[in-house]
Amino acid sequence: QSALTQPPSASGSPGQSVTISCTGTSSDIGRYNYVSWYQQYPGKAPKLLIYEVTYRPSGVPDRFSGSKSDTTASLTVSGLQAEDEADYYCSAYAGINHVLFGGGTKVTVL
């Protein structure tokens, strides 16, 4: 099964908001509320940002928020900061295919 679809890049100035989309199908994002988002810096392991579409683990700033509509999930980073420049990946449970990841979005802070 194909990976989830994310835009390869997104950017914003400090203080602005940036929203990253993650498009799946009725078999994954459209069927289950098991969407998660990860932040990854170069050479580092991914870090969990959002789980079950909207929940933030302890320690993740509330500038990060998640949502879902039909077969598309979104991650919004509000009040963009220099440290938010990283790669972001979505993930969704896909039943028989278990878990799919998106191709990743590189966020640049202008």
Partner 1 sequence: EVQLVESGGGLVQPGGSLRLSCVVSGFIVSNNDMTWVRQAPGKGLEWVSLLSYVERTQYADSVRGRFTISRHKSDNILYLQMSSLRPEDTAVYYCARERDEHFFDYWGQGTLVTVSA
98 binds partner 1 (CB under 8 A): yes
Under the criterion CB under 8 A, does residue 31 sit at the interface with partner 1? no
Give the one residue of 18, 20, 22, 46 binding partner 1; rule: CB under 8 A. 46
Which stretch in 18-26, 59-67, 75-83, 86-94 sits in contact with partner 1 by CB under 8 A? 86-94
One of 45, 62, 82, 110 touching partner 1 (CB under 8 A): 45
SS3 69: strand
φ and ψ at residue 80, rounded to 5 degrees: -50, 135
- Residue 89 sits in the site that holds partner 1 (CB under 8 A): yes
CA-to-CA distance for 96 and 47, rounded, in angstroms?
25
Q: Tell me the pairing of strands 105-109 and 99-101.
A: unpaired
- Which residues have C-beta within 8 Å of that of residue 96, sequence separation ≥ 6? none
Applying CB under 8 A, which residues contact partner 1?
3, 32, 34, 36, 38, 44-48, 51-52, 57, 89, 91, 93, 98-104
